[in-house]
Amino acid sequence: MFTANLALDFSNRLMRNASATNCTRALGFQRQVELPVAYKGLKLDCGYRLDVVVENAVIVELKSIEQISPIHQAQLLTYWRLSGKKVGLLINFNVAALKNGIVRRVL
């Protein structure tokens, strides 16, 4: 699989682009989706961006890091709650087997 070969040598940005290329073949998705925050009726731009949104239903946060830490899971949960989506995936490409780098959350 392409991820096993690329994950050890390349940046997180490359991983996002390679993953997006694979998604275009089968699913509807958006990359780098802005996530504004509503506060007292105002729309605030806090700089939050979702790496990928698949079929307007699943948030996918992509990482290429040593290991997933609680802060990365908190990031996913924050985006998940603010977006109103029902499913969130946190995928770390810096693992020997990709299945070991996936965290799935369902509302």
What six digits make up the tokens of 102?
């996936």
pLDDT-derived band at 1 (thresholds 50, 70, 90) equals very low
Structural domains in the chain (count):
1
Counting every residue written for the chain, the total comes to 107
**Angle made by CA atoms 30, 36, 41, in degrees to the nearest 5:** 140
Per-residue pLDDT band for 23 (boundaries 50, 70, 90) equals: low
pLDDT level of residue 22 (50, 70, 90 thresholds): low
Taking 70 as the threshold, does the pLDDT of residue 3 lie above it? no
CATH number of 83's domain: 3.90.320.10
To the nearest whole number, what is the mean pLDDT of the chain?
82
Distance CA 42, CA 93 (A): 37
Cα–Cα distance, 2 to 22 (Å, whole number):
10
Q: Is the pLDDT of residue 29 over 70?
A: yes
Range(s) of the domain holding residue 27? 2-106
Answer whether 99's CB lies under 8 Å from 71's CB.
no
Rounded Cα distance between 5 and 31, Å, is 22
Share of the chain above pLDDT 70, in %: 76
Per-residue confidence band for 45, with pLDDT thresholds at 50, 70 and 90: confident
What is the separation of C-alpha 11 from the centre of its chain, rounded to a whole number of angstroms? 15
Distance separating the N- and C-terminal Cα atoms of the chain: 30
